[in-house]
Chain A
Amino acid sequence: MSVGQLAGGRVPRAARHAARRDVLFIAAAAVMAVVVLVSLIGPFLAPYDPNQLYVGPVSGRPSAAHLLGTDDLGRDILSRMLAGSPTSVFAPVVVVILATSLGSVVAVVSAWFGGWVDAVLTRIIEVIFAIPGLVLAVLAVSMFGKGVIAPVIALSIAYLPVVSRLVRIGARTELGKPYMAALRIQGVGSLAICFRHLVPALLPAILAQAAIGFGYAMLDLAAISFLGLGAQPPSSDWGVMISSGQPSLLAGAPEQSVFPSLMVVLTVLAVNILGARVTEWAEAADR
């Protein structure tokens, strides 16, 4: 079998075939499907009012009535987790979408025009890079007030340099390749070169970065909530739940923190596995 035959159009099929046997991939996809589904319809599935105090015993163990137990104020943990899932899952998604799209745009503009445009944008990106995400979040909260919106905006800005640097390097490499010169000589329009050739070439890197970014965003948002700067009690964002479960954790009732933590870990893990696989295939199809 020649190398040509090996590569000729077989990679996507090989990827599908591999996916069918890839247990880790199937598990991750299943977890992700459940998480997304729950975050869409979860609030309607909640067996109790998530904010109703003393629907059960204080810090109750899991039981038939309360599948995941109750928290220190007697609220149903399962109901609270379900109710909190939309913000917990979609806030990081928004962060990733904002950071990735903005970062990619900045990077492509920077690499495309070069010269002083590149110099100015790169300096700005470097300044942003120097500010830690959490500090930026604290700053944003002090400006916009507490809530989910401020940390989401802050983290989007904080992640922008990471995406932008990575994509800029990739774009510069790609633009330096002879086929880009060939396209210019052919008279292909700049927009067509950019969106038909440059951006597709960068997609594997962008996808990989987005998957990693999701994990970080989810953890960071949870941390910000944990610090009391994000979503506020009585909201049941997973980060808030982990945070407010601290006293109970010490008192010997870990359920309130452990179950939301478990969800964060599972989701981040699943997204990273999916991201890694998707990137592998994109690269294989790209070779």
Chain B
Amino acid sequence: MSALVLELDGVSIAAPGADEPLVRGVSLQVAAGEVLGLVGESGSGKTLSVRAVAGLLPAGFETEGVIRIDGEDIATLSAARLVDVRARRLGMVFQTPRAHLNPLRTIGDFMTEALVTVGGESRGAAEQRAMELLAEVGIGDPERRMRQRPGDLSGGLLQRVMIAATLAMDPPILLADEITTALDVTTQEEVMAVLADLRKSRNLAVLFITHDLALASAVCDRIAVMQDGRIVETLKAATMRADACDPYTQRLLSAVLPADLRTGEKGSDPVLVVEGLRKTFRVRAARGGRRESFVAVDDIGFSLSPGGSLGIVGESGSGKSTTARIICGLERPDAGSVSVKGEDWTLPARGTAGRRRRARIAQMVFQDPYLSLDRRQTVRQCLREAVGVHRRSDSLAELDARVDELLEAVRLDLALADRRPRSLSGGQRQRVAIARALAADPEILVLDEAVSALDVTTQVEILTLLDRIRRETGVALLMISHDIAAVRRLCDYVVVMQAGRAVEQGPIADVLDRPKAEYTRLLLDSIPHEGWVPQRRIPARTQSLPSVATSTTPVAVPPGRKR
């Protein structure tokens, strides 16, 4: 066995003032050139363990046990030596590169900082080296990139910049904390391809933290499964399905959706018809403060039958959320029409009465339940309000009876009714949001990335719940998601969107099993699966896209589409 570059021996971490440690006796070994996956649900202590290695724990956290970097016990090192060891021997990459880069400094400043301050190189030499590093992670035209700022780069590109910067000191190990969680599948594949190349060319070891077991088993050599601050077992990635014996690992492995959830009522009149929808946003130009228009949704049309389910898939910025927001009356389309049960819904309802009438028919569940619930309301207050809107003459007791019914329908413990969102888990919050959407007995439920922010096991719970609700109430689902697996299980019709256009649509089996469009095939191939080798498929893509933003923020326009 080759030398260990990182070793954790019985490491426990306790929060200040807490009785129980958050991480208990974690032991890990990462050999040179090895990729060790650290997998577990949020709150299992993965990030804390890595932060302890990098010295990034919040103030007051206590660490016990031994951490060895390159064979040196960090507890025995002097403070100055420890800083130096961490700076030279560790590279760390985070989930949100944008939050870790100063938006006012150029990429060049960021890249050369470590080389100059730690490495003691001259400015010119550092810049030369920085450009080599950027080229190494597959960033084209590094000279231009060096002068740009984080705002000019897409998420995938920034993540590669982060990786390149950590390589500056030539560390033997990279700590990668959920580095692709915030990225689209296609971008994820590109970043993973970069990591795979670096592994080969530099013999780089990686401690890869993720909650995505499929991804971990595709890119790691060994996988450590973590639950409640403990490592429950460490398995070889290649044989983990067969070897897993801990019940928690088995639960994670089996956290896939029950197949064949879809049912569709054929032949009945569609409840929702969308035709030729188009929406442009005015956004600030990348340079010069002029305003340009950006086409978010371009000629989208589909129909949804009662009790049916339709999925819209695509990468962030593809216009799928905007489509959902137009249907729910949160945006005005520039052209096209939305009709629900024969009624024209193209423009947002005017006045409270109009909104209330529409609320009985269409409801929406948002991506982040913490942001879509009022943080000052308890669960009961929130649901009581949602119910009360449609039952204005009901007494408080009658409202509460309906609230209990809703809580029952989403399988939420009645004891949680008096809590506020901050003291609920992500899954519980999303159940509240779903209960609220069901308050009016809607006929259409729009799910805007409703499970994307949740852990795998919670995702499965929520999707199963949604399917059961659909069977029981006959509500039609419009599911917006970048997760093709979830859409495949739950929907019977799919629309694939790219840059505002529908590249392909049709019954789910036709589109996903026999994709005609190149883009659909690309999306499908980017999903980690058995025997998956990440590839750099479209090297030009991330370079030509100026910046990919989330659905709610304006997206910069490719040049040439001026107003």
- Residues on A facing B (Cβ under 8 Å): 1, 4-5, 7-9, 177-179, 181-190, 192, 196-197, 200-201, 286-287
Contacts and interface: CB of A to CB of B under 8 A. Distances in A.
Given A178-B372, A201-B376, A187 B440 contact: yes
A187 B374 contact: no
B423 A5 contact: yes
B374 A179 contact: yes
A184 B330 contact: yes
B435 to A, nearest CB: 12
The 6 closest A-B pairs by CB, nearest first: A187-B359, A187-B356, A8-B423, A178-B372, A4-B423, A189-B352
Nearest to B389: A187
20 contacts: A7-B423, A177-B371, A178-B368, A178-B371, A178-B372, A179-B371, A179-B374, A181-B366, A182-B364, A182-B366, A185-B364, A186-B363, A187-B359, A187-B389, A187-B440, A188-B386, A189-B389, A197-B374, A201-B374, A287-B375
Interface string B351-377: 010011111101110111001111110
A282 to B, nearest CB: 11
Given A1-B18, A9-B423, A185-B329, 13 more contacts: A1-B15, A7-B423, A9-B420, A179-B373, A182-B372, A182-B433, A186-B359, A186-B436, A186-B439, A188-B389, A189-B352, A196-B385, A200-B376
A79 to B, nearest CB: 48
A196 B328 CA distance: 22
B56 interface: no
A286 B376 contact: yes
Among A1, A9, A182, chain B packs the most CB atoms within 10 A around the CB of: A182
Interface string B308-337: 000000000000000001001110000000
A119 to B, nearest CB: 16
Contacts of A177: 371
Nearest to B448: A178
A192 B19 CA distance: 44
B422 interface: yes
A179 B372 contact: yes
Contacts of A178: 366-368, 371-372
A4 B422 contact: yes
Given A186-B440, A187-B352, A181 B330 contact: yes
Contacts of B425: 4
A183 to B, nearest CB: 8
Contacts of A197: 374, 376
Interface string B461-503: 0000000000000000000000000000000000000000000
Contacts of B81: none
A178 B360 CA distance: 19
B390 interface: yes
A181 B325 CA distance: 9
A93 B385 CA distance: 36
B21 to A, nearest CB: 12
Contacts of A201: 374, 376
Contacts of A190: 352
A185 B175 CA distance: 43
Interface string B434-471: 00100110000000000000000000000000000000
B174 to A, nearest CB: 29
Nearest to A285: B376
Nearest to A203: B376
B202 interface: no
A9 to B, nearest CB: 7
Nearest to B385: A188
A188 B439 CA distance: 12
